[in-house]
Each structure stands twice: as C-alpha cells, then as structure tokens.
A and B are shown apart, each in its own frame.
Chain A
Amino acid sequence: MKRKLKTVFAMLLCSTLLCMTGCWDNKELDSLSIVTGIGIDTGKEPGNLDLSFQIASVQNGSKKEGGGGEAAPYLIRESKGRFVLGGIDALRYGNSRQLFLQHNQVIIFGSDVAKSGVKPYLDSFMRNTETRMEVWVLVAKNDARSILSTKTEQDKISSVALTRMIMNERAISPYSSTNMLQFTSHLVDRSTAPVTLVVERREEDGLQILNFSGMAVFKDDVMVGMMDMYQMQGYILSMGEVNGGSLEIVTDLGNADLKITKSSCKQEIVLGDQGNITFKLKVNTVLAVGALQNFRGMDINKVISLVNGKAKEALETKIKACFAESQRLQSDIYGIGAHIHKHHPKEWKTMESAWASIYPKIRLELEVETNLGSSGKISESLNMREGHE
C-alpha cells in the first residue's frame, strides 16, 4: 500500500514537470519585438499621445557592414492613444510580434509632453513589470520620434548610441543624467527638482548626429526650463566630483583651453536665525593646459597665473549663472530642501509648504579654488616664443 502510494505520488510529481516547462511564458526570439527606445510626444488631437517604439531588428543588427543599401537595424512603430498602455495595446493589431520592454534603454519625452507633466506616463512604466528602473529618462529638444529615428553612424541603433553617450557623460559627472529611479525619487521627495539631459538631432555634412544640448529642469513633474551646456557645467561643478570637461578662457592677451582634470565640491547649507538660508559651496578644481594661443612674449609662469585667475572667475560665473537660473525657475535642482529635510527636520516642517517661495531667496556663498598644475608635454606656446629674445 505504502509503495503504491509512493508510486502514485512520484507519478504526480513527475506530471508537475509538464506544468513547469514554462509553456505559458515561453518567449521565442522570433516572436518578440525587442524595444530599445520609447518616445512620447503630444498628439495632434488634444489629450492624445504619439508613441514611438524603436524596435531592434536582430537580423540586420548582426549583419556585417558592407554591401551597401542595408536597411536600418531597427524599425520605428508608432501608435496613438490617451495612455501609454493603450498605445502599446494598439500596436498589437498591427504587429506580428509581441512588444518586449525588458531591454528598453531610454524613455524620451518630447518637449511638449515634458512641459505638460510626465507623472502619468512614468506611472505606466513603473507599473509595467518588464520596465526596469535603470532606464534613462531624456527630454528631446523638439520631438522624441525624430531622436529615435536618427540614423547614427557608429552605433546603428540610436537608443544604444544614446545610452553610450550617457555613460560617457556619467564618467565625467553622474549628476546631469537621470534614470527612472532617480527621477521618481526626486518626484517623491517633492522639494528636489528632477533634471534630465536634453537631446537634440542635428545634421552636419549630411550626417545625422545626436547631441546633448543641455539639461531640462523640472518643477515637480513639469518641465519649466532648459539650461544650456554652460549652465549645466556650472551645475555639475557645484554638485560634487567632476572628472573631465573643458574650460575656455578668453583674454585680451591670449586664449586658453583648459582641461578639468578633477573637481570636487563641498556643499554646506546654513540656516540663519531669522529663517534665512545660505548655500555655501567650496569648489576645488584641478586644471591642465589643453592649448594656449597668443600670450606673445609672456613668461609661462605669468601666463599660468593669469589663466588660473581667469579660470577661477569663469567657474564662478558658470556656477552663479546656473544657481540664478534655478532660482528664476524656482526649481531646487541642488536638493537644498531635501538636505534641510534630512538634517533639520523640525525646521523643514515650517518651510515645506512655502519652499517654492523660499528657494529664490537663498543666498549663495561661493568659494572657488583653481589649481592649474599641468601644462602638458610643452610649457610655452609657439606664440610665446616669438616675443623672446
């Protein structure tokens, strides 16, 4: 009897193997549309969205170059809908394959959508179990579709190219690029304004290129402005460590192109007795000479000293310009409110509701130190030699 029961049990267990083969969840590569990028633009009809899905074509993507006239390694599928899910669902009717979002690299909001608020669309992605929180969030200077349909040369799939560009940017500073987790975290925080990179499509010599042109600044989930690269550099320098970038110095005596070797910033937020807030920044930047033009007949030490002083001024101007712009936009991109909330929770309770009006009144105290230490393989420039006896 016992043996029979065991046999029955063993057979039952074996039969469960049939259920464990993943029959319901099998996903064959040739039945999937692997989405690598999603673009969201406002539709022509009010309240509607134009959704663009960049779908990687595995066959074409793996082909070697040559032969000419090759089709793009991706295709763009478009759909319209009031919601993101509705748009995805609408594609079912015109697509032989199932959309697969696990490998999505970027979510690009068109500037019109970003100006009207992105929360409803982020909500859809966060609920979707296939979407990962590490997906990069970008804002297109114009429309998102044009970014996804850009035929980039080196990386054939534009969303993959964008991801690599973001990784390059992050090697310099991680503060301007934002993934979905960081964006959401700032939205939950309510005081810190999220920022994302702005991407634009340009044509140079008949070639289509993608270019980061600055930083989109949000207030809650609504984009309230864009900062250019000049202001963006001021932002990353005031946020923490920076491991790259350049600084152009223009003087009456000559010009210099400096390389930022390393920069660090120490932030301090001081709450005054009368409720006034001071944002103290101590920036320490190590520079190297990239190029020197003119400075005819000048001694190299004098040039270094002059350029160093000018670099300090230039960095101060950049940082101040960025801070002023953020105050104009009433967007706390530095996370000052979050810092007060974390370190002075009692004081924060009195400020929280009026933070948008308090932020523009914050005083910036900036201290920049520059150290122009390296001049590269040569010291004096060719022009400087001309004046020497």
Chain B
Amino acid sequence: MKPESKKVHGLDFMFAVACYIQSSSLLSSFFVSITRQDSWIIVLFALIICCPLAWIYARLVESFPTKNLFGILQTVYGKYLGGFFCGLYVLFFFILTSLNLIDLSEFVKSTIMPQTPLVVLSFTFLLTSAWAVFVGGLRQMVKYGFLMTMICLLIVIATILLSLNLMDFENFLPVMDLKPKKYIQATNIVVTIPFAEIIIFLMTTNHVQSGKRGFFPIILGGIAIGCITILLVIMRDITVLGNAISLFSLPSFETLRMVSVTQTLSRMEIVFAFILIALLFFKVTWLYYVTVISAKQFLRFQDHRRLILLIGASAITSSFILYPNFLVHNESGQKIIPLVWPIFEIILPLVTLIIAKFRGMTRKRQTGSENQNSSSASKSAAASPSGSQSPSGTGKPSLPTDSKEQSGSKFQSNAGTSSGTGQHGDLRSQSV
C-alpha cells in the first residue's frame, strides 16, 4: 500500500462500489427467509432508500473534498469526540472484515472443501489479502473492480439463460401479501448489510477524481449496478426455487446446482462457486485494506505495514469468536446487525453532514479539475483572512505529513470561514 500520488478515476471507483455490492449476493438468505417471493421488491425498495443515502455520502465527501471519513469526523466533531467516532469506525470496519472473512470461509467449506478446517481457509484467504494490501494501493484495488463487475454480470446472465427451463414466473405471486413489518425489516437488512456498507469507500474518496458531476452519480451508479445484479440473482432464485427458497442458507448456490441443460452440461456449480469466491475475496480485501488504513490513521502509525499482519491475525481470531455458528450469525444478520449498523452507515454520516452544514463547514461541490488543483487551493487558503496556516508549512497536501500536525484541532476555530479548512485536514488522509 503506497501513498497515493495520483487520483483514481471516478468510473473505476464506481465499479469498485458495484463489485463490492455484487459480492454480497450470497447473503440473500438474511432477508429471503423473511420476505420470500417478494424479496425482489425489497431490493428495489432498498435502491430507492439508497438514493438519499448516496446523496448524503456524496455531499459529505464533496463538502470536504480533500478529507477522508476520519478527517471529516475530526474536523466536524473535534479531536476527542471525532477521535471517539473514528475508534468506533475502526471497530466497525474490523468486525465487517471478520464477518465477511468467515462468510467466505464458510462458503468454501460448505461448497468445495467440506473437510478442510475453517481456520486454514480463513488463514489462506487473509494471507493472500494481506499480500494484496501490502503491495497494492488504491489504484490496484479499484483496477479489478470493472473486470470483476463485468464477469459477475456475465455469469449472472449466463446462469439466468441456463436455468430458463427451470423457471416458473408464477413463483412471484402473491405480490405484497406479507405483513408490512416484514417488508420494513427486510428492507432494513438489505440497506444495512450490502448497500450501505459502501461507507467503507469514504475512507478513500479523497483519492478519487470525481469529475464535473461530483460523487453522487459515481456512488449511485455503483449502487445501481450492484443492485441490478442482486435483483437479477434474487429473481432467478425465486423463479427456480419457488417457495422453498426460504429453506436454504445459500439459495443462489442451490439454484446453480439445479442447472442442468443436458446430461453432459450439468453440475456446473463449481464454476460459479469460483466466481463467487473471487467476488467475496475482493470484498474481504477491500474491507481489510480499509481497516488497515483506518487503524493506521486512528492509531497514528507512521507505517501501515506494521498493522497488516496484526490486524489480519486479529480478524481471523475474531471471526471465530464473534458467532459460535452460522445459525447465530444468520439470526444476528436478521435481528441485531440491521439495528446496529445503521448508526455507522446512516445516522452518523447524516448527523455529521447536518452539523457541518449548521457550522458552515460545507461548501459547494468542486469540479474534477478544481479537485485536482487542490494544492493551489490550499495556497490560497493559507493566504485567507482567517490566517490559518498549512500545518506542514509546505502547502503541498499530496505529501504525507506528521499526523500530530493534522489533529484538526488547530484549525477547528477557523472552520467555516475558509475553504482552506478542508484542504488542511486532508493532509493526514493523503498520507494513507
């Protein structure tokens, strides 16, 4: 993971977001068992709800274009409260990494390698992810997003075509026949578990070139592509499995096991299993990457590399401690996580945006070209009437600087008077 000297293109970032959401298609059992044949409607509800959420994220990022999430939190809430929230987010990212790691390992164990110990699978995956985090940077991380997204879409379309002979479109009926409470519960699950988890990307948005239209179309585009994929997967599973869909812990995999075009063209689930593993691996690597850079920023480590193996080892350990078995994990995914995750994914970003707005910290969206010229902007900020100085004294925010200088407390009092506030706060995040 190298300091990012050049920004990532917005489209690449969009596909990374899309791929992240696509990889969650395996977790459909969390809500499919609640809303059964209406689960596809839930995905659409979730997409509608995610539109304002994408706007909140985009507005937050555009208000502080040179900061990542932690920079924003410390700017808005100050050193101590902001630090406290950052600590909570580190824990949140860490738990997400552990949960997704155990999901990945459980999937491999239940489908391909039933006798291999889970710890070996987790260790192997995490070690490979650690290598990716160690040698790759953000550019390398997003580079594969487009390819993976397209492969996933192609696979989903191919499986739809191959399972056409098994589909019964009457399985969608009756529509909206369940209690409203169930729709609310399931929508909450879909929003919180795959969709709003993209808050992890806010740790890297300061390295993304958003373009003229800002971050909203990028984030929403990523969500929409991911949502369409999940929608197709859910619809395929409902039409093939019918009302029995609620029984399976991995409905998608069971659908793929049913695909049999001829006697020779059957039992192809292993091909799809590898694709799903690749997607989940992409997700785990992203989460691991974000956990490492957030922990580095929170703990003020100078070298993130010292944290990679430490966090990885902790993630493997915690993945076995968090839940005793998949049933408890599933129940938690239905009842506990959808109540806790929104604090980090929806409430805190929303409150942060509102506070930033009231304190006059937000500013109009910068265009891509303006965003790229942030160094010149910081120079002008340094010469602003408020008299705030660049903490590094260099006026070059793209370079890593001492984190002590970037606590944000120095320029809290000047916040809102100058656009330069955001530029200064960026210095730490740029060193990520």
Q: Do the beta carbons of A181 and B174 come within 8 Å of each other?
A: no
Interface check A345, CB cutoff 8 A: yes
Per-position binary interface string of chain B over residues 348-364, scored 1 when its CB falls under 8 Å from any chain A CB and 0 otherwise: 00000000000000000
Contacts A9-B131, A342-B174 given; indicate if A181 touches B116 (C-beta within 8 A). no
Interface contact A19-B120, CB-CB below 8 Å? yes
List residues of chain B with CB within 8 A of the CB of A185. 241-244
A132 at the interface (CB under 8 A from B): yes
A341 within 8 A of B: yes
Answer whether A24 and B247 are a contact pair too, CB < 8 Å, given A9-B131, A181-B258, A342-B173.
no
| A354 located at the interface, meaning its Cβ lies under 8 Å from any Cβ of chain B in the complex | no
Known contacts A13-B127, A13-B131, A185-B242; is-contact A132 B257 (Cβ 8 Å): yes
A126 within 8 A of B: yes
CB distance from A105 to the nearest CB of B (A): 12
Task: Indicate if B272 sits at the interface (CB-CB under 8 A).
Answer: no
Judged by a CB distance under 8 angstroms, whether B260 is at the interface is: yes
Determine the residue in chain A with the shortest Cβ distance to B263: A167
Shortest C-beta distance, A160 to chain B (Å), equals 11
A 64-107 contacts with B by CB, 8 A: none
Chain A, interface size: which category? 20 to 34
Output the nearest chain B residue to A16 by Cβ-Cβ distance. Answer: B124
The A116-165 residues at the B interface (CB cut-off 8 A) are: 126, 129, 132-134
Chain B residues near A29 (CB-CB < 8 A)? none
Whether the pair A188, B131 counts as a contact (CB closer than 8 A) is no
Main SS of the interface on chain B? helix
Query: What does the 1/0 interface line of B236-248 toward A look like (CB < 8 Å)?
Result: 0000011110110
Let me know if B170 and A342 touch, CB within 8 A.
yes
Chain B residues in 8 Å Cβ range of A24: 113, 115-117, 120
Say whether A133 contacts B123, CB under 8 Å.
Answer: no
- A359 vs B66: C-alpha distance in the bound complex, in angstroms? 69
Chain A residue numbers with a CB within 8 Å of B134 are 9
A12 within 8 Å of B (CB atoms): yes
Given contacts A133-B254, A133-B258, contact A345 B117 (CB under 8 A): no
Interface residues of B in 186-203 (CB under 8 A from A): none
Main secondary structure of the interface of A (DSSP, over half): helix
| Contact among A9, A23, A126 with B247 in the assembled complex (CB-CB below 8 Å) | A126
Contact between chains at B243 and A134 (CB < 8 Å): no
CB-CB under 8 A from A341, the residues of chain B are 174
A25-B112, A132-B257, A133-B257 as given contacts; A343 in contact with B174, CB under 8 Å: yes
Residues of B within 8 A of A133 (CB): 254, 257-258
**Given A133-B257, A134-B257, A343-B174, also A13-B116 (CB < 8 A):** no
Q: Is B110 at the interface (CB under 8 A from chain A)?
A: yes
Residues of the A chain whose Cβ atoms lie less than 8 Å from the Cβ of B413: none
**Distance in Å: Cβ of A138 to nearest Cβ of chain B:** 19
Which residues on A sit within 8 Å (CB–CB) of B112? 25
Do B243 and A129 touch across chains, with their CB atoms under 8 A apart? no
Q: Does B114 contact A (CB under 8 A)?
A: yes
Any B CB within 8 A of the CB of A20: yes
Name the distance in Å between B140's Cβ and chain A's nearest Cβ: 15
Whether A208 is near chain B, meaning CB under 8 Å from some CB there, is: no
Cα–Cα distance between A364 and B110 once the two chains are bound (Å): 48
Q: Does A22 contact B (CB under 8 A)?
A: yes
Q: For A23, what are the chain B residues with a Cβ–Cβ distance below 8 Å?
A: 116
Q: Nearest Cβ distance between residue A184 and chain B, in whole angstroms? A: 5
A369 interface hit (Cβ, 8 Å): no
Known: A134-B257, A134-B258. A20 touches B127 (CB 8 A): no
Chain B: CB-nearest residue to A9: B131
Query: Is B302 in contact with chain A by the CB < 8 A criterion?
Result: no
Q: Are the C-beta atoms of B243 and A188 separated by less than 8 Å?
A: yes
Chain B, 249-296, CB within 8 A of any chain A CB: 254, 257-258, 260
Does B384 lie at the interface of the complex (its beta carbon under 8 Å from any beta carbon of A)? Answer: no
User: Is A112 an interface position by the 8 A CB rule?
Assistant: no
Q: A319 to B257, alpha carbons, bound, how many Å?
A: 35
Nearest Cβ distance between residue B162 and chain A, in whole angstroms? Answer: 14
Determine the chain A residues whose CB is within 8 A of the CB of B110 once the complex forms. Answer: 129
Identify which of A5, A16, A25 contacts B128 (C-beta below 8 A). A16
CB distance from B172 to the nearest CB of A (A): 9
Cβ A181 vs Cβ B124 within 8 A: no
Query: Which residue on A lies nearest to B115, using beta carbons?
Result: A24
**Could you say which residues of chain A place their CB within 8 Å of the CB of B247?**
126, 184, 188
Asked if residues A184 and B244 are in contact (CB atoms below 8 Å), the reply is yes
- CB of A200 closer than 8 Å to a CB of B: no
Using Cβ atoms and an 8 Å threshold, which residues of chain B touch A248? none
The residue on B at minimum CB distance from A123 is B247
Task: Tell me the complex Cα distance, A22–B241, Å.
Answer: 31
Cα A19 to Cα B174 in complex, Å, equals 48
B123 and A19 contact, CB distance less than 8 A:
yes
The answer for the CA separation of A341 and B243 in the assembled complex, in Å, is 12
A189 within 8 A of B: yes
CA distance A185 to B110 in the complex (A): 23
- How far is A388 from B117 in the complex, measured between Cα atoms in Å? 85
Query: Is the CB–CB distance between A22 and B116 below 8 Å?
Result: yes
CA distance A354 to B246 in the complex (A): 25
How far does the alpha carbon of A22 sit from the alpha carbon of B258 in the complex, in Å?
A: 25
Encode contact with B along A331-349: 1 for CB under 8 Å, 0 otherwise.
0000000000111010010
Interfacial chain B residues near A188, Cβ < 8 Å:
242-244, 246-247
Q: Which residues of A contact B128 (CB under 8 A)?
A: 13, 16
* Chain A contacts with B in 179-230, Cβ cutoff 8 A: 181, 184-185, 188-189
Query: Is A19 in contact with B124, judged by CB distance below 8 angstroms?
Result: yes
Q: Provide the residues of chain B in CB contact with A25, threshold 8 Å.
A: 112-116
Q: B210 to nearest A CB, angstroms? A: 33
**A12 touches which of B127, B135, B254 (Cβ 8 Å):** B127
Q: Is the CB of A129 within 8 A of B114?
A: yes
Do residues A20 and B124 form an inter-chain contact, with CB atoms below 8 A? yes
In the bound complex, how far is the Cα of B175 from the Cα of A341, in angstroms? Answer: 10
Task: Report the Cα distance A238→B125, complex, angstroms.
Answer: 54
Please determine whether B243 and A189 come into contact, CB atoms closer than 8 angstroms: yes
Task: Give the residue name and chain of the B residue nearest to A27 (CB).
Answer: B115
A134: chain B residues at CB < 8 Å are 257-258, 260
Q: How far is the CB of B194 from chain A (nearest CB, A)?
A: 25
Closest to A343 in B: B173
A26-78 interface (Cβ within 8 A of B): none
Known: A24-B113, A25-B112, A25-B115. A345 touches B174 (CB 8 A): yes
Interface string of B115-158 (1 = CB under 8 A from A): 11100100110011011001100000000000000000000000
Q: A12-B127, A129-B110 are in contact. List 7 more A-B contacts (CB 8 A).
A: A13-B127, A24-B120, A129-B111, A129-B114, A184-B244, A188-B242, A342-B173
13 contacts between A and B (CB under 8 A): A16-B123, A16-B124, A20-B124, A24-B115, A24-B117, A129-B111, A132-B258, A181-B244, A181-B258, A184-B244, A188-B247, A189-B243, A341-B174
| 3 nearest A-B residue pairs (beta carbon) | A342-B173, A345-B174, A24-B116
